[in-house]
Amino acid sequence: MADALRPSARVTEMVAAMTLDEKAGLTAGVDFWSTLPVERVGLPRVRLTDGPNGARGPVTRGEGGLRAVCVPCGTALGASWDVDLLERVGVLLGTEARRKACRVLLAPTVNIHRSPLAGRNFECYSEDPLLSGRAAAALVRGVQAQDVATTVKHLVANDAEHERTSMSSDVDERTLREIYLLPFELAIREGGSLGVMTSYNRLNGIWCTEDEALLGGILRDEWGFSGFVVTDWYGVTTTEVSPAAGVDLEMPGPGRAFGAPLADAVRAGTVAEADLDAQVTRLLSVFERVGALDDTGTEEPTSADEPADRELALEAAVSGTVLLTNDGTLPLDRSALRRVAVIGPNAAKAVIMGGGSSHVEPFHVATPLEAIGDHLGPDVEVVHEPGVDITRAAPTLKAEVAVTYHAGSEPGGEQVRAETLTATQLLSFGPPQGVPAEFTARATCTFTPERTGPHLFTLAQAGRARLAVGGRVLIDGMATPLPRGRTFMGYGSKEVTETIDLVAGDPVEIAIDYTSGGDGGSGGVYGVKVGLRALLPPDAVERAVAAAAEADVAVVVVGTDDEWESEGFDRRSMDLPGEQDGLIRAVAAANPRTVVVVNAGAPVTMDWIDDPAAVVQAWFGGQAMGPALARILTGDAEPGGRLPTTVPERLEHNPSWGTFPGDHDHHRYGEGVFVGYRWYQSRHLPVRFPFGHGLSYTTFDVGTPTVPASFTAGTGDELVVEVPVTNTGSRSGSEVVQLYVAPPSRTEVPRPPQELKAFAKVHLTAGESTVVRLTLDDRAFAWWDVGTEGHAAVVERLPLKPPGAAAAVRSPGWRVEAGTYALRVGRSSADIAHVVPVEVVPA
Ligand code: BGC
């Protein structure tokens, strides 16, 4: 753990030299991505950047042309089970944040995969808190080694997007401690995270930004957190309650509760200046720790595309790719390949990240089709058929888009700014830089169709907009606002569609008019997005089947994309969107050597699982997903991933079924601690693929562990488990040794049949052996005891007190029960090679 931050003389002097307005000003952003500079005392502007996928820079998605390294999404990183890799990815993200002139990275996201449907699952690591927390701690160590503070987010129980800004996650105390808080605890205690971001939601009815017991009691008093707490963007804050509860920084600026209103509250005597000083001291101490106080605050954000970074993005994508099934078709024998059919809606698209604030603009993106073609070289013919289209509406058009901004919300105002964008989307939080709050914009570009036939156009707006194609108004959301919808993270309209016939080779002008007037810019979001796609011919599936039948191998790339999995909304179904199930079945029937690649950030229904020869889960693999996939398919790389989350057979088997996503602002976590495999295993439910599952191209022997016969808890000692592992196959590969602990047969509270308590990834060459050392401490055996204070208070009121009622009252805390525990060592939660008893004795 990083040393606790103690205010240095420099920080103390700075605080003393700042005026009340300057101090209050520092507690709210000065704009969307930075804090207030106070040059008088030598305090520069400090900039923050999202996030978990890469460091976008101090810009909003779609704004500015900064490119960034795009690493695999959270589930893919979680699937690597490789803390060493995560630390190196952290170093890369920290380096990227510094290139972007930022000292705070708004990552990692450690909310839990409670339901496969949660919109941001792709951003989070796992359904298991230990895997999430160890992954997060490693990433934090890497980022912070580059003098960039992380903000582990979103504290806490922010595990759904539905009603995300208003809902109360209703979670009992034990569940909170054992499942939802643990990743934060590990990121702080083992990783030393200097920052925490609160969530939008309420916890048991209390806004997390006002929860003194959470931010003060647990975070600071129990975990010893000495860094700063920042709100999620536009999270609810109150001038009087939030600072006292432990929030230090309200983002974005200008402050609504902090900043000027906080200065007024101090003047009015409703907030003590000493509390404000404590906030400022914590912020400055973190800034000092990462070196931000020595910046000028005017450094230019830059982008760099370094070969070593590209390599690491590739390694991470390979390491997180999970081979789910394989009848021996993989790896492909390149010498026997003449023609490969690359099929599916995601084959010719680079679906490398999910939707929302984690978005970055990567340097390199090869689609699976391009990457497979490049990798196989000119001697292999690669053919493509999409088969089906899952585009929800249509992607933005990538083109040179000339934009002019004009003052006033009516057309004809004076031009105040011009820029060129790379896609048909304008988006800003608050008016764009240099543009007044009331403005109009006109964006134009040219589109030359590749295909003759119907083309679908879409328009979504936050504000009001009109779309004209070839001089004809196609969708008019200006005269009459479009219906409200879920675009622009819930602040925008519905996406409205219109079809028009175009001719291949004939260029048409696309013109977008936008005004901030009317009902626009709700939540400070100003945006317009135009999408476009050529519609598929009616015989698209038949064409895909024919292409597969004539190929040596068919690779079907199915999945979702950032329109199906995104911040702002949850999926409605676990099924693959559109007609993809039918496509898989039809292609697999036409070619027995069909490999399905699932390109989705979270589990999907796989009722077709027995049809293809092999199935690969590629997640949203970041900028190197395509090349990683090509290497894995051909055996030039080994699929290193293991599932960080169970793939259920049916959504209805999931523990949150019936209570997810919740309603009327309450999300009831009724399954308690029985999340993910803890549920499926306790109920003996069949699953499609268990937690921890993943095949390799080689074989491993996990030998009998060496375990001491007993362990005395409460002494601070660790129990060391040594597991011999041998690569028994004929090629190099990696294995993840997983150690689950099963409780004694009789326990005071219901406990899951087994829980992951340690793991290690090993890379071994053919025939190589090693001994994996796994350590367990008290917590590996403990459960959170809510104590008996509540019970004692109830009993006190009973007219007839039960015998023993006067017994000593037990305080809440971690409790280790004496008994025989089983250490279960294996390759997945369902593939346990050895079960070893250990006698646990409380000290
Ligand atoms: C997200 C955060 C993100 C912030 C800034 C919010 O919508 O929930 O995770 O860091 O925006 O982009």
The domain that holds 69 is classified in CATH as 3.20.20.300
The pLDDT confidence band at residue 798, using thresholds 50, 70 and 90, is confident
**Nearest residue (CA) to ligand 1, atom 4:** 233
Q: Are residues 111 and 146 in the same domain?
A: yes
Round to whole Å and give the CA distance between 722 and 660.
40
The pLDDT confidence band at residue 411, using thresholds 50, 70 and 90, is confident
Mean pLDDT of the chain: 95
Q: Are residues 271 and 320 in the same domain?
A: no
**Nearest residue (CA) to ligand 1, atom 2:** 232
Domain boundary among 606, 628, 645: 645
**Ligand 1 and 164: CB distance under 6 A:** no
Tell me the one-letter amino acid at 143: V
Is the pLDDT reported for residue 765 higher than 60? Answer: yes
**524 Cα to the center of ligand 1, angstroms:** 14
The pLDDT confidence band at residue 222, using thresholds 50, 70 and 90, is very high
**Which strand ranges, in their side-by-side order, compose the sheet holding 472-476?**
415-423, 398-407, 439-447, 508-515, 464-469, 472-476
Q: Express each pLDDT in 597-625 by its tens digit.
A: 999 999 999 999 999 999 999 999 999 99
The pLDDT confidence band at residue 732, using thresholds 50, 70 and 90, is very high
Q: Are residues 607 and 717 in the same domain?
A: no
Identify whether 3 is part of a domain. Answer: no
Strand ranges for 182-262 from DSSP E: 195-198, 202-203, 206-207, 228-230
The pLDDT confidence band at residue 450, using thresholds 50, 70 and 90, is confident
The pLDDT confidence band at residue 409, using thresholds 50, 70 and 90, is confident
Is the pLDDT reported for residue 490 higher than 90? Answer: no
In this prediction, residues 446-456 reach a mean pLDDT of 91
* CA angle at 611 for the pair 609 and 612, rounded to the nearest 5°: 90
Identify whether 678 is part of a domain. Answer: no
In this prediction, residues 316-328 reach a mean pLDDT of 98
Round to whole Å and give the CA distance between 129 and 135.
10
Domain boundary among 240, 261, 294: 294
**Minimum-distance ligand 1 atom for the alpha carbon of 50:** 10
**Nearest residue (CA) to ligand 1, atom 3:** 357
**Ligand 1 and 32: CB distance under 6 A:** no
**234 Cα to the center of ligand 1, angstroms:** 9
- 232 flagged as catalytic: yes
Residue 428: per-residue pLDDT: 86
Within 10 angstroms of residue 725's Cβ, the number of other Cβ atoms is 21
- Among residues 128, 117, 124, the alpha carbon closest in space to that of 577 is found at 117
Q: Spell out the SS3 assignment of 356-424.
A: CCCCCCCCCCCCHHHHHHHHHCCCCEEEEECCCCCCCCCCECEEEEEEEEEECCCCCCCEEEEEEEEEC
**Ligand 1 and 128: CB distance under 6 A:** no
Is the pLDDT reported for residue 444 higher than 60? Answer: yes
Residue 222 has phi, psi (to 5 degrees) of: -80, -45
**673 Cα to the center of ligand 1, angstroms:** 27
**Minimum-distance ligand 1 atom for the alpha carbon of 106:** 10
Q: Catalytic one among 232, 581, 611, 785?
A: 232
**504 Cα to the center of ligand 1, angstroms:** 41
Q: Are residues 239 and 90 in the same domain?
A: yes
Q: What are the respective helix, strand and coil percentages of the chain, to the nearest 5? A: 25, 30, 45
**Minimum-distance ligand 1 atom for the alpha carbon of 109:** 9
The pLDDT confidence band at residue 800, using thresholds 50, 70 and 90, is confident
Q: Are residues 622 and 751 in the same domain?
A: no
Q: Are residues 481 and 528 in the same domain?
A: yes
Round to whole Å and give the CA distance between 457 and 498.
5
β-sheet bridge partners, residue 700: 727
Round to whole Å and give the CA distance between 726 and 729.
9
| CATH number where 610 lies | 3.40.50.1700
**Ligand 1 and 233: CB distance under 6 A:** yes
Round to whole Å and give the CA distance between 68 and 49.
11
**Ligand 1 and 153: CB distance under 6 A:** yes
**134 Cα to the center of ligand 1, angstroms:** 22
Identify whether 666 is part of a domain. Answer: no
**128 Cα to the center of ligand 1, angstroms:** 23
Q: Which residue has the higher pLDDT, 237 or 610?
A: 610
| Residues 6+ away with beta carbon under 8 Å from 754 | 681, 740, 741, 742, 822, 824, 829
Q: Are residues 344 and 489 in the same domain?
A: no
Residue 523: per-residue pLDDT: 64
In this prediction, residues 553-562 reach a mean pLDDT of 97
**251 Cα to the center of ligand 1, angstroms:** 10
**643 Cα to the center of ligand 1, angstroms:** 26
The pLDDT confidence band at residue 63, using thresholds 50, 70 and 90, is low
Residue 803: per-residue pLDDT: 75
Residue 522: per-residue pLDDT: 57
Q: Are residues 744 and 817 in the same domain?
A: yes
Q: Are residues 23 and 141 in the same domain?
A: yes
Domain count, the chain: 4
Helix 625-634, helix 307-320: angle, nearest 10:
60
**What does the chain come to in residues?**
843
Round to whole Å and give the CA distance between 204 and 168.
6
Round to whole Å and give the CA distance between 41 and 25.
14
In this prediction, residues 744-757 reach a mean pLDDT of 96
Domain boundary among 294, 326, 347: 294
Is the pLDDT reported for residue 65 higher than 80? Answer: no
**233 Cα to the center of ligand 1, angstroms:** 6
Question: Per residue in 660-683, is it b (16+ CB within 10 Å) or e — as a string?
Answer: bbbeeebbebebbbbbbbbbbbbe
The two most distant CA atoms of the chain are separated, in Å, by 90
The pLDDT confidence band at residue 416, using thresholds 50, 70 and 90, is very high
Helix (H) or strand (E) holding 154: strand 149-155
| CATH number where 447 lies | 2.60.120.260
Residue 796: per-residue pLDDT: 82
Angstrom distances, CA of residue 119 to CA of 185, 241, 747: 24, 30, 36
In this prediction, residues 763-770 reach a mean pLDDT of 98
Round to whole Å and give the CA distance between 605 and 598.
11
**Nearest residue (CA) to ligand 1, atom 11:** 233
Tally of CA atoms within 13 A in the half-sphere of 147 that contains its CB: 13
Task: Give residue 806's Cα distance to chain centre.
Answer: 49
**Ligand 1 and 235: CB distance under 6 A:** no
**357 Cα to the center of ligand 1, angstroms:** 5
**Ligand 1 and 735: CB distance under 6 A:** no
**Ligand 1 and 50: CB distance under 6 A:** yes
* Structural contact between residues 829 and 690, judged by C-beta atoms closer than 8 angstroms: yes
Question: Does residue 113 have a cis bond before it (omega within 30 degrees)?
Answer: no
In this prediction, residues 291-300 reach a mean pLDDT of 96
Residue 15: per-residue pLDDT: 98
The pLDDT confidence band at residue 789, using thresholds 50, 70 and 90, is confident
**Minimum-distance ligand 1 atom for the alpha carbon of 489:** 7
In this prediction, residues 99-106 reach a mean pLDDT of 98
**322 Cα to the center of ligand 1, angstroms:** 28
Tell me the one-letter amino acid at 559: G
Round to whole Å and give the CA distance between 63 and 74.
24
Identify whether 115 is part of a domain. Answer: yes
Instruction: Please report, rounded to a whole number, the percentage of residues in the chain having pLDDT higher than 70.
Output: 98
* Structural contact between residues 339 and 552, judged by C-beta atoms closer than 8 angstroms: yes
**Nearest residue (CA) to ligand 1, atom 6:** 233
Q: Which domain holds residue 787?
A: 698-842
Q: Express each pLDDT in 176-218 by its tens digit.
A: 999 999 999 999 999 999 999 999 999 999 999 999 999 999 9
**Ligand 1 and 232: CB distance under 6 A:** yes
Is the pLDDT reported for residue 726 higher than 60? Answer: yes
**Nearest residue (CA) to ligand 1, atom 12:** 357
Identify whether 672 is part of a domain. Answer: no
Identify whether 667 is part of a domain. Answer: no
Q: Which residue has the higher pLDDT, 802 or 633?
A: 633
In this prediction, residues 243-256 reach a mean pLDDT of 95
In this prediction, residues 483-498 reach a mean pLDDT of 88
Instruction: Please report, rounded to a whole number, the percentage of residues in the chain having pLDDT higher than 90.
Output: 88
**Ligand 1 and 51: CB distance under 6 A:** yes
Q: Are residues 369 and 474 in the same domain?
A: no
Of the candidate ranges 37-46, 487-496, 826-835, the one whose mean pLDDT is the lowest = 487-496
In this prediction, residues 374-381 reach a mean pLDDT of 97
* Structural contact between residues 443 and 478, judged by C-beta atoms closer than 8 angstroms: no
**Minimum-distance ligand 1 atom for the alpha carbon of 60:** 12
Quick check: helix, strand or coil at residue 84? helix
| CATH number where 706 lies | 2.60.40.10
- Residue to probe by mutation, ligand 1, list 47, 49, 50, 231, most atoms within 8 Å of CB: 50
Identify whether 301 is part of a domain. Answer: no
**Ligand 1 and 106: CB distance under 6 A:** yes
* CA angle at 461 for the pair 455 and 465, rounded to the nearest 5°: 80
Residue 484 has phi, psi (to 5 degrees) of: -65, 145
Q: Are residues 127 and 61 in the same domain?
A: yes
* Structural contact between residues 194 and 141, judged by C-beta atoms closer than 8 angstroms: no
| Residues 6+ away with beta carbon under 8 Å from 22 | 36, 38, 40, 41
In this prediction, residues 386-412 reach a mean pLDDT of 91
Q: Are residues 529 and 551 in the same domain?
A: no
In this prediction, residues 47-72 reach a mean pLDDT of 89
Residue 625: per-residue pLDDT: 98
The pLDDT confidence band at residue 491, using thresholds 50, 70 and 90, is confident
- DSSP 8-state secondary structure symbol assigned to residue 321: -
Identify whether 110 is part of a domain. Answer: yes
**Minimum-distance ligand 1 atom for the alpha carbon of 123:** 9
In this prediction, residues 425-454 reach a mean pLDDT of 90
- Residue to probe by mutation, ligand 1, list 158, 209, 249, 357, most atoms within 8 Å of CB: 357
**Minimum-distance ligand 1 atom for the alpha carbon of 107:** 10
